[in-house]
Amino acid sequence: MKTTKTILSRRRFNAVSILALAGASAGVGLSKPALAQALTPKSGGSLRIARTEEIDGFKLDGEFSDETNEVSQNVIAPLLRFDSSGLNVVPGLAESFVVAADGKSITFQLAQGARFNTGTPVTTDDVIFSVNQWKAGPNFGSMYVDIASVTKLSDTSFRFNLSSPNLSLPAFLTWSVAGVIPNNFAGMKADQFWLTPIGAGAFSVKSWEGTGNVHLVKNPYYYRPGLPYVDEILSTLPDANQRALQFQSGEVDIVSELGPIEARRYPKDKLIESEVHYTDVLLFNIQYPPLQDIRVRKAIAMAVDYKAIVDGLYRGLGIEPTGFLPPNVGMWEPPSKPYYRQNIAMAKALMKEAGITTMQLELLFPPNYSLVSQIVQQSLQAIGVDVKLNPTDSGTFVSDASAGKYQLAVWAYNAISPNIGDPLSWITSTSYFFTNYPLKDLQAAANELFVSRTPEEEKAAVIKIQDLGTDQLAFLALDHYKIGTAVQSNIHGVSSPPWANIYYDEIWIS
Amino acid sequence: MIPLLAGIILVVFLLAKVMPGDPARLAVGLRASPEQVAQARAAMGLDKPVIVQYFIYLGHILTGNFGYSYKSHMPVTTIIGAHVPITLWLLFFGMGFSLLISVPLGVLAALQRDRMIDHIIRAFCVLSLAMPMFWVGIMLITLIALPTHVFPVGGFGTDFFGHLRGIILPGLTLGIAMSPVMIRSLRATIIKEISSEYVNAAKSLGVSGSRLMIKFIFRNALSPVVTLLAYQLSYFLFGDVIVEMTFMLPGMGEGIIDATVQRDLPLVQGYTLIFALSVVLVYLLADIINSLLDPRIVIDS
């Protein structure tokens, strides 16, 4: 693996910023109190964020994009949070949570004085109502079905009784889709509530549009004393050129979730880089006969020029695939054997063994995946596979991919919480990532992971899952790459996990 | 006009039908099961025959119900209503800049006919016609907004003065794009008026200078220009989409692009219908203005 860090990593960025500030202070004669003042968080100001994705809205079960997850987490607070490394679950609206020794229940205590942005206290009844909402969702309901019941211990403490142990459940409780909302939608009709949501997060929604334009204002009843620092957050969804121009002119403070190609347009000293995590994938629709043959899929996997993607396209912001699951997330383990690498001779031999000399395939891909798709197209020429590129818009891609109307497709996926069960849940709840590959074996292995009780069991279960993903090859990981967050130098407190979602409550402006 | 509107509604409905993508899947979500998608399709009326869907749609439109966004679940009229004022700002400033540029240059070119200044103005017109609108916008951003910081590179601001700052460069872009046709029209009309008999008669009666220009020549020359401007408004509406995207103004142009990208069919239909209705109304307005300025049109018609 070859990873040349051309951009500062998040930890290095923070350290260097502090050292630079200290150095600068020495140079210009700043006194120690002045330096301390410069580093002391202060309240007030407006934070302007330029986004790269639209906002899906605040209806919990309809929140898909990473940007939606980020905004919603800061408005409709979930019970738990993740730390900045993306490796650990930490308390959130629930100030403590204790998993029983047998793994079959989790007991929570709500944060002292926790209130919704209306000033109404958050109670166990609200949590019970919220859990029922989560479970009823057609998209994410399956993530929470293991919560068989909720026992009310007091107005502010409760116990989730699980139908079976679920190691990944605490991570799923950090998701925005598991936000806590008021009992009976605070007396509103559900549709109206989702348009004007009430939550216990750091901010309230003043106005929003599906385009990404969101205006948030400080929640005066936020459960973390003294936070949030900023008074309001204004976010927009400009195109890539406008994002760069607005950042250059100082009209926006943060540009969030920059892909590795776009990230290169930003000054290195203002870019916070996540760990490699996001994973480009090549999906094989196994309903299409030639792709039912594992030899053909393996031949394709051995024909792909991974180095061209990593070195030519991502240039230091990506690595060759290490397995089919995104790395740098809690409990991740590599497969027991090396993942696929380019080997044209072996790929040709596999095609010959499958009795195929030439073949035509159509490759479906949404916007922003054009260059990766072109590399795949060129790679497969070497084994006699003529790939016709079929670019489409995001909406059509989602419709066609989920309906199995494709042969090959390029897309990407990632976790949004600190547990490998997160991306795994995506795979298992989408007809094995839209490939229609039988889920039985993978689901069984995933269940082993969810009920594992020791680190050794967890490790073995993840390795087994990785091996299954490698052997079955329903889809192929093409690379793992980093996400960048561009931050002006007067903005502090921005930390981002591998999926680059930001908690807004600790951000301050100097 | 009623058959025209009925035709527009039919075309808008059919356009949505031929757009790729499954609205039910988009509405219910990626992880929903096929059964849940089928339920959503039924709930949205998408399982009914197309002709039935059309009449349901027509009924809703006639009662002012444009439906709900698949994406945000907000009423389409609310969403479009929030974008309309920004587009009106842009059109107002675009037309204003267009007049500010074209009237003086058109008059000057006519008065300096075939002299150096006329050649320069005509060259400017040719150059402006050749410059794509988005390119003009990018140039203004690069040459004015970025170095001076007086105007933002994009966005509409959050208060009145923010709006004002945010609309100047987009308005200027639209104005520059629209002015060549106006300049050429004004120049040609003034030249024609200068050599007309009534001007010669006025001159022989001792009328000259600015009085002759303003009271006689310019007044008569302005009539076709105002008519042209009204007709140009429909072109402004399409230019508006490009300018709004260049400057990221959250108006109707940006709205229709976003809705299309997100396959938000009710919203796409709503925007398309409003744009089409606007063009029809603008042409109607142009006809009315034309008849008011030139009584012969009323007599002829």
- List alpha helices for chain B, DSSP H: 2-18, 23-28, 34-43, 50-62, 76-111, 116-130, 133-140, 146-148, 160-194, 197-204, 209-211, 219-247, 252-261, 265-293, 295-300
The reply to whether residue B154 touches residue A238, judged by beta carbons under 8 angstroms, is yes
| Whether B31 and A213 lie within 8 Å, measured CB to CB | no
Please tell me which of the candidates A213, A249, A430 has its beta carbon nearest to residue B145.
A249
User: B interface toward A at CB cutoff 8 Å?
Assistant: 20-22, 25-26, 28-33, 36, 69, 71-74, 79, 82, 138, 141, 145-146, 149, 152-155, 158, 245, 247-248, 250, 254-255, 258, 260-264
**Residues in chain A closer than 8 A to B255 (CB atoms):** 211
Mean predicted lDDT score pLDDT of chain B: 86
To test the contact with chain A by mutation, choose from B148, B153, B241, B252 the residue with the greatest count of A C-beta atoms within 10 A, namely: B153
The stretch A6-16 carries a mean pLDDT of: 34
Mean pLDDT within A177-185: 98
- pLDDT tens string A320-360: 999 999 999 989 999 999 999 999 999 999 999 999 999 99
Q: Residue A2 has what DSSP assignment? A: -
pLDDT recorded at residue A14: 38
Query: With contacts defined as CB-CB under 8 Å, which chain B residues touch A423?
Result: none
A27 pLDDT higher than 60: no
The residue type found at B296 is R
Q: What is the pLDDT of residue B221?
A: 76
Assigned token pair, A327: 């790395």
Which range is least confidently modeled, A171-185, A271-285, B2-16, B116-130? B2-16
For residue B152, the SS3 value is coil
Measure CB to CB from residue B32 to each of A139, A208, A395 and give the nearest one.
A139
Say if residue A22's pLDDT is above 80: no
Chain B residues whose beta carbon lies within 8 Å of the beta carbon of residue A403 = 22, 25
Q: Are strands A508-509 and A491-492 parallel, antiparallel or unpaired?
A: antiparallel
**Would you state the pLDDT for residue A51?**
93
Query: pTM for the whole thing?
Result: 0.86
* Interchain CB distance below 8 Å, B32 and A138: yes
Average pLDDT score over residue span A22-46: 62
What is the number of other CB atoms lying within 10 angstroms of the CB of residue A9? Answer: 16
Instruction: Report the C-alpha gap between B112 and B192 in whole angstroms.
Output: 14
Overall average pLDDT of the A251-260 stretch: 95
Residue A135: what pLDDT? 96
Helices (H), ranges, A29-164: 32-39, 66-73, 124-136
For residues B211-226, give the mean pLDDT.
75
Smallest Cβ–Cβ distance between B21 and the set A238, A396, A429 belongs to A396
Q: Is A109 strand, coil or helix?
A: strand
Q: In the prediction, which pLDDT does B20 show? A: 78
Statement: residue A39 has pLDDT above 80? no
What is the model's pLDDT at position A462?
96
Cβ–Cβ gap A399/B30 under 8 Å: no
pLDDT score for A507:
97
**CB of B54 within 8 A of CB of B39?**
no
- List C-alpha distances in Å: A234 to A69, A106, A207, A239, A366: 16, 37, 10, 16, 28
Query: pLDDT band at A121, cuts 50/70/90?
Result: very high
Stretch B159-177: mean pLDDT:
94
**pLDDT at A309 (0 to 100):** 97
Contact A398 B155 (CB under 8 A): no
- Find the mean pLDDT for residues A120-146: 95
pLDDT of A50 above 70: yes
CB-CB: which of B21, B32, B69 is closest to A395? B21
Size of interface A-B (CB pairs under 8 A): 120
- Say yes or no for a CB contact (<8 Å) between B21 and A211: no
What pLDDT shows up at residue B291?
A: 75
The pLDDT value given to residue B295: 64
Q: Residue B219 pLDDT > 50, yes or no?
A: yes
Share of chain B above pLDDT 90, in %: 42
Name chain A contacts of B245, Cβ cutoff 8 Å: 239
HSE (CB half, 13 Å, CA atoms) of A5? 14
Res. A1 pLDDT band, cuts 50 70 90: very low
Q: Is the pLDDT of residue A505 over 60?
A: yes
Distance from CA of A318 to the nearest CA of B (A): 27
A195 contacts B73 by C-beta, under 8 angstroms: yes
A491/A462 Cα distance (integer angstroms): 38
pLDDT surpassing 60 at residue A233:
yes
More confident site: B223 or A253: A253
Q: Residue with structure tokens 């603008």? A: B282
Cross-sheet strand order for the sheet of A318-319: A318-319, A475-481, A278-284, A408-413, A359-365, A385-391
Q: Complex ipTM above 0.95?
A: no
* Higher-confidence position of B39 and A8: B39
pLDDT value at residue A13: 34
pLDDT of amino acid A23: 39
Model pLDDT, residue A32: 53
Q: Which candidate in A193, A215, A249 is best for mutational testing of the B interface (most B CBs within 10 A)? A: A249
Contact B250 A61 (CB under 8 A): no
Answer yes or no: is pLDDT of B112 > 70. yes
- The per-residue pLDDT for A254 is 97
- The pLDDT of residue B213 is above 90: no
Q: For position B263, what pLDDT does the model report?
A: 77
Listed in sequence order, the residues at least 6 apart from B142 whose beta carbon sits closer than 8 Å to its beta carbon are none
What residues 396-415 of chain A have any CB closer than 8 A to a CB of chain B? 396, 398-400, 402-403
Which residues of B are less than 8 Å from A249 in CB distance?
145-146, 149, 152-153
Q: Is A510 on the interface with B (CB under 8 A)?
A: no
Determine whether the interchain pair B29/A213 forms a contact, defined as Cβ–Cβ distance below 8 Å. no
Specify the pLDDT at position B25.
83
Q: Tell me which of A304-308, A368-372, A503-507, B208-212 is least confident.
A: B208-212
Average pLDDT (A153-162) is 98
Query: Which residues are within 8 A (CB) of A394 and not within 5 positions of it... i.e. 6 or more apart?
Result: A366, A367, B261, B262, B263
* Cβ neighbour number for residue A25 with a 10 Å cutoff: 17
**What are the structure tokens assigned to A209, written together?**
């549009």
pLDDT (mean) for A184-195: 95
| Residue contact B263–A399, C-beta within 8 A | yes
Which residues on B lie below 8 Å from A57 (Cβ)? Answer: 71-73
Q: Which two tokens stand for residue B58?
A: 């027509």
> Which one-letter DSSP state was computed for residue A309?
I
DSSP label at A366?
A: -
- Confidence at residue B276, expressed as pLDDT on a 0 to 100 scale: 86
CA distance A251 to A486: 13
pLDDT in tens, A447-464: 999 888 888 999 999 999
Q: Which residue of A has its CA nearest to B162?
A: A251
Task: Report the pLDDT value the prediction gives residue B298, as an integer from 0 to 100.
Answer: 56
Shortest alpha-carbon distance between residue B89 and chain A (Å): 19
pLDDT at A281: 98
Residue type at A241 in one-letter notation? N
So what's the pLDDT on residue B29?
A: 82
**Residue A84: which pLDDT band, with cuts at 50, 70 and 90?**
confident
Mean per-residue pLDDT, A433-446? 95
pLDDT for residue B34:
84
Residue A58 to residues A280, B80, B120, B244: CA-CA distances in angstroms? 27, 20, 56, 27
Phi, psi of A27 (to 5 degrees): -65, -40
| pLDDT for position A33 | 53
Residue range A289-310: mean pLDDT, rounded: 97
Is residue A201 within 8 Å of residue A74, measured between CB atoms? yes
Q: Which residue of A54, A248, A429 is in closest CB contact with B31?
A: A429
C-alpha distances (whole Å) from B67 to each of A19, A481, B62 are: 56, 41, 12
- The region of weakest confidence among A263-267, A311-315, A413-417, B10-14 is B10-14
Q: Highest mean pLDDT range out of A262-266, A407-411, B81-85, B134-138?
A: A407-411
A165 vs A457: CA distance, rounded Å: 14
Compute CA distances A475 → A207, A435, B135, B244, whole Å. 40, 7, 42, 40
- The answer to whether the Cβ–Cβ distance between A138 and B33 falls below 8 Å is yes
- The beta-carbon neighbor of B152 closest among A213, A251, A429 is A251
User: What per-residue confidence (pLDDT) applies to B192?
Assistant: 86
CB-nearest to B30 from A64, A210, A248 is A64
Q: How confident is the model at residue B281 (pLDDT cuts 50, 70, 90)?
A: confident
The 10 Å Cβ neighbour count of residue A224 is 15
Q: Across-strand partners of B26? A: none
Question: Which of B73, B153, B263 has its CB closest to that of A59?
Answer: B73
